[in-house]
Structure 1
Amino acid sequence: MPRYKQLIFLGLMASGALAGCASNQAAEQDGARGRPPGEAIRPEQGANEEVTRQDANGDGRPDVWTYTVDGRKVRQELDLNWDGRVDLTRYFDATGDKARESLDLDFDGRVDATYFYEKGVNTRRERDTNGDGRADSFTYYEAGKLVRKERDTRGTGRIDYWEYWENGQVDRIGEDLDRDGTVDKWTRNPDNTARE
């Protein structure tokens, strides 16, 4: 692939993956409070993994690391903002399809969001929105369409907010008001005319 196409490709990936990034300051404050750090964006290289490095922007430093085992790609790491650190790690299944992507949105070296795939299609997204090292926002997709969102809005490790989507809009919202893990209040979308 010509160098200019590589740069355009990486630029587009960076703008899409890093849109809406949180600040690094929030992550540092959470670390100072003793919260768990979360999963590292760049795992240790396995003994049986071979790595190929690529300098996509021509600055003399690698920007893309591709890991293979017996010639099969198992993982790829990308430095999207060219600061010398990995921002996105992709994992591949035995057939070569993307199985998972981990993103470091605040550039602290830890995973903030993880996207899960089945046969290369996104089925679930998890995000740590408060920087405590645990996912607290979950989004589910079926056949490429958003069907449900769940959140732990209080940081308790328990889901307390649910959104169910139909035809591209919220159909109903469930809330756990007494913190027992079950919905206490349902709110329907009065504008969702797609319901029968």
Structure 2
Amino acid sequence: MASSNRLIFLGFLAAGALVGCASQKPAETPDAVRKRPEAESIRGKQEPGETVTELDANGDGRTDVWEYRVKDVLVRKELDLNWDGRVDVTQYLDPQGAKVREVMDLDYDGKVDATYHYAEGKRTKGERDLDGDGKADSWLYYENDTLVRKERDANHDGRVDYWEYWENGQVDRIGEDLDGDGTVDQWTRNPNPAAAKPKE
């Protein structure tokens, strides 16, 4: 395996850890997928002016990576992480090659389940569709690429009713809206808060 392919393969392994955290719900039938027209397809269409390069990262003779360029500038990359011949992750890049957006198909149904936004190469926000209806119902917020808050629409009424605030890599407190008015009614604090990070 060429050294460049080894690097891509190692990237697959790292990204595969994210996919391993996906829910274990079975893949939907094609009819069920068609009933979700609002869900974004994980695989984009080749735009006018784009050229595509197909790569075989694991050496099995099948394409695992699709790179899209406009005037020799890489603008999008599609990855097949589980080597089933279908795209699992699509990354959108700025002209300098930094990620600005990444979408993932966590349940292998061909539709986007998770979207992450980046600024200057750092993750800033995430959106997840936990129930498979094609609409985000969980939101993640990051500061300096570190998770600081999660929000969720647990009862699927279109409003956030659950909040997690994170500090030092663990949940610090949880807020819940019990009466559906959009405000926190109950707070639960972590009984074992993370120790403050030592000053450098």
Structure 2: distance between partners of 1:193 and 1:83: 41
Structure 2: distance between partners of 1:30 and 1:168: 40
Q: 1:66 to 1:189 in 2, by over 3 A?
A: same
Deviations 1:86-127 (A, max 9, x none): 011000023321111111111110011112111111112221
The more displaced of 5-14 and 77-86 is 5-14
Tell me the number of residue pairs that the alignment of Structure 1 and Structure 2 aligns. Answer: 195
1:49 to partner: Cα distance: 1.0
Structure 2: distance between partners of 1:48 and 1:35: 30
- State, as a whole percentage, how many aligned pairs show the same letter: 56
1:52 to partner: Cα distance: 0.9
Structure 2: distance between partners of 1:29 and 1:158: 29
Contact 1:74 1:96 in 2 (8 A): yes
- Say whether residues 1:105 and 2:106 are aligned partners: yes
Give the structure 1 partner of residue 176 of structure 2. 175
TM-score by length of 2: 0.85
Contact 1:65 1:78 in 2 (8 A): yes
Give the structure 2 partner of residue 59 of structure 1. 60
- Which 4+ stretches in 1 moved above 3 angstroms? 26-30, 32-37
Structure 1: distance between partners of 2:39 and 2:193: 38
1:27 to partner: Cα distance: 3.9
Give the structure 2 partner of residue 45 of structure 1. 46
Structure 1: distance between partners of 2:110 and 2:58: 21
Structure 1: distance between partners of 2:31 and 2:148: 31
Give the structure 2 partner of residue 12 of structure 1. 13
Give the structure 2 partner of residue 31 of structure 1. 32
1:147 to partner: Cα distance: 0.9
Contact 2:5 2:56 in 1 (8 A): no
User: What's the RMSD between the two structures over aligned residues?
Assistant: 2.6
1:161 to partner: Cα distance: 0.2
Counterpart residue identity of residue 15, structure 1: G
- Say whether residues 1:157 and 2:167 are aligned partners: no
Q: 1:30 to 1:135 in 2, by over 3 A?
A: farther
Give the structure 2 partner of residue 71 of structure 1. 72
3-state SS in 2 of match to 1:178: coil
3-state SS in 2 of match to 1:61: coil
3-state SS in 2 of match to 1:9: helix
Structure 1: distance between partners of 2:30 and 2:176: 29
Contact 1:30 1:131 in 2 (8 A): no
Unaligned runs of 5+ in 1: none
1:29 to partner: Cα distance: 10
Contact 1:174 1:187 in 2 (8 A): yes
TM-score by length of 1: 0.87
Contact 2:115 2:127 in 1 (8 A): yes
Q: 1:168 to 1:24 in 2, by over 3 A?
A: closer
3-state SS in 2 of match to 1:25: coil
Unaligned runs of 5+ in 2: none
- Say whether residues 1:89 and 2:87 are aligned partners: no
